[in-house]
Structure 1
Amino acid sequence: MYATEIRGGLDYAPCRYGKSRVTCRGPKAPETGYIACLGGTETFGRFVPDPWPVLLGDGLERPIANFGQINAGLDLYLNDAVIAGLAASADAAVLQVMGAANMSNRFYSVHPRRNDRFVKASDTLQRLYPEVDFSQISFVGALIATLIEADAERFGFVMHEVQTAWVARMKKLLDSLSGPAWLLWMGTAPPPDAMPLDYGIGREPAFITRDMLDALKRRIRGCIEVVEPSDHASTEGMVFSEFDAVIARQMLGVAAHERAADALSAAMSETVSQ
């Protein structure tokens, strides 16, 4: 389905909470009694009229606070005091598994809100890759691809750093929540046991392994996995302009959102009562 009036086609009912500079997808949640949904593009629901947070709220008959952001990393939820406080105060929370690349670390820094934007290479990274001109790079994805192309073996140090930092920050975020929490994996493949370097280029969640998820087991009630192989992807039911058609075809479809909501509703129903 195409929308012709505005790019994107959907009214995301944008809203803000308190003094936060982060614009969230509406409708705005009430002050209490809500379930917090944190995550990236799928949680925000780009091009999807009813993304999984909306369907989850319908299934549990509970208000939902959708804090999802397109291309978000963990830094957004750890650095924004308002959103972090609202997530911590929620009756329950679902965290979509976000890739490890879009967050600041000892090798590079990212924009505090638009976590897919590369800001600066540290002195450590510049010494590791003296041949790379970092001034010509604007996005984390381009940075990762450039580093792997320049020297995949050296990139192993970077990957290990972001993976280690991701686990530590996930533990910190989960420990900040007062209510029960579930993880949601949404991708074109299940969590891998090992991590080939090319998994971090164009595949999400980038650089996350099953061992990394297992390290969080004591802090969560469960992890729901929703997998939609690329050859099964469909844009049926999505709303987007012709300009964004290529992007829309690369995203998980409406069916994946429905499966995520159904699985989460079943897992959470006994714990999260009305």
Structure 2
Amino acid sequence: MSFHQSGGGGDAACQYMGSKLWFRGPPGDLSKPYVACLGGKETFGRFVESPFPVELGKRLKLPCINFGSLFCGVEAMLGDPALLDLVNASEVCVLQVPDLPCQSNRFYRVHPRRNDRFVEPTFDLVQLYPEVDFTEIHFVRHLLDRLRAEQDARFEIVVQELQESSLRACSKLVRRIEPPVILLWLHVQRQAGMHSDPVLPDAAMIERLRPFCSGVVECPVCVTAVSDTLEDVLFGTLQQPMAEHVIGPSAHREIAGKLLPVLRDLN
């Protein structure tokens, strides 16, 4: 197990034995029964002292291990057997619905661990967008913003593929998790003009995942720029633009509050 404290905002990150992924630290106690909280940047809780797994643990009186990773999507989770072993050793798993674009699909490939990174287009995407120079694109969101800027029906073909491929991957992940799964579906409100999410999970996708889960928790939250809570998060010099895109402490407490009765009902 390794652990380090990053600069600026003071986010702690750690690795667990056998896993190549970095999660929110400090490392949790795996010697006792625990809840596994699996997810992306909201679960990680960047610039927040007590992300929702910490708040949930306080209320449950049970360790809630934060397996949130900043750049981790379903592909990285499925590709990390050590992480799946840790999740399967838990009493219950809270799984944040992952970012749909951060997944290899028929149109592009992502980095196996840094799922936010665009590696290469497939032949199908090059054929669909012959005018786009993909050599200048390094991140998935940049790619999708570039494709969406063409403002034609081709982007809907990409969106449909992302929804279908993500549903397949999420279904596979949920079926590989042995303890009960509580699906956490966050509706993150962002400020107009901020980096918008080009593809979001919808109710139809959640309904198709519901039979594999013990419960679904929906929670609307706002980033700090919308909720006017920037002063509540911890960030360093030059980090304000990033801090405006995260959810603050009050949102994490709200998420914990929504999860608490569902987890208690499982006992």
Q: TM-score, normalised by structure 1?
A: 0.87
Q: How does 1:86-165 map to 2 (within 5 A)?
A: 86-165=86-165
Matches within 5 A, 1:95-244: 95-189=95-189, 202-204=195-197, 206-229=199-222, 231-244=226-239
Amino acid at match of 2:97: V
* 2:115 match: secondary structure: coil
Unaligned runs of 5+ in 2: none
Distance (Å, rounded) in 2 between the aligned partners of 1:202 and 1:259: 24
Q: What secondary structure sits across from 2:217 in the alignment? A: strand
Give me the whole-angstrom Cα distance separating, in 1, the residues matched to 2:185 and 2:139. 23
Kept after mapping to 2: 8 A contact 1:7/1:243:
no
Cα distance between partner residues in 1 of 2:207 and 2:97 = 12
User: How many Å separate the matches in 2 of 1:6 and 1:173?
Assistant: 30
Corresponding residue for residue 245 of structure 1:
240
1:80 and 1:6 map into 2 onto residues whose CA distance is: 23
Q: Name 1:84's counterpart in structure 2.
A: 84
Greater strand percent: which structure? 2
Report the Cα distance in structure 2 between the residues aligned to 1:229 and 1:136, rounded to whole angstroms. Answer: 32
Tell me the amino acid that sits aligned with residue 168 of structure 1: R
SS of 1:242's partner is: coil
C-alpha contact 1:101 1:162 (8 A) present in aligned 2:
yes
AA paired with 1:243? L
* Mapped partners of 2:218, 2:228: distance in 1: 16
8 Å Cα contact 1:163-1:208 kept in structure 2: yes
Q: After superposition, what is the alpha-carbon deviation per residue over 1:112-154, rounded to whole angstroms, capped at 9, x for unaligned?
A: 1111110010111111111111010000011001111125311
Show the counterpart of 1:259: 254
Helix, strand or coil for the counterpart of 2:24?
A: coil
Residue by residue over 1:188-247, the C-alpha shift from the partner in whole angstroms, topping out at 9 and shown as x without a partner, is 35xxxxxxxxx9x83359321111111111111222222134632412321111311111
Unmatched 5+ stretches in structure 1: 190-198
- C-alpha root-mean-square deviation of aligned residues, in Å? 2.2
Cα distance in 1 for partners of 2:31, 2:126 equals 46
In 2, Cα distance between equivalents of 1:131 and 1:253: 40
Give the letter for the 2:176 counterpart: S
Q: Give the 4+ runs in structure 1 shifted more than 6 A.
A: none
Give the 3 Å change call, closer, same or farther, for CA 92–185 of structure 1 in structure 2: same
Q: Which has the higher contact order (CA 8 A, sep 6+)?
A: 1
Q: Separation in 2 of the partners of 1:188 and 1:249?
A: 13
Query: Bigger shift: 224-233 or 40-49?
Result: 224-233
Q: Deviation at 1:98?
A: 1.6
The alpha carbon displacement at 1:24 in A equals: 1.6
Distance 1:143 1:206 in 2: 12
Mapped partners of 1:54, 1:138: distance in 2: 33
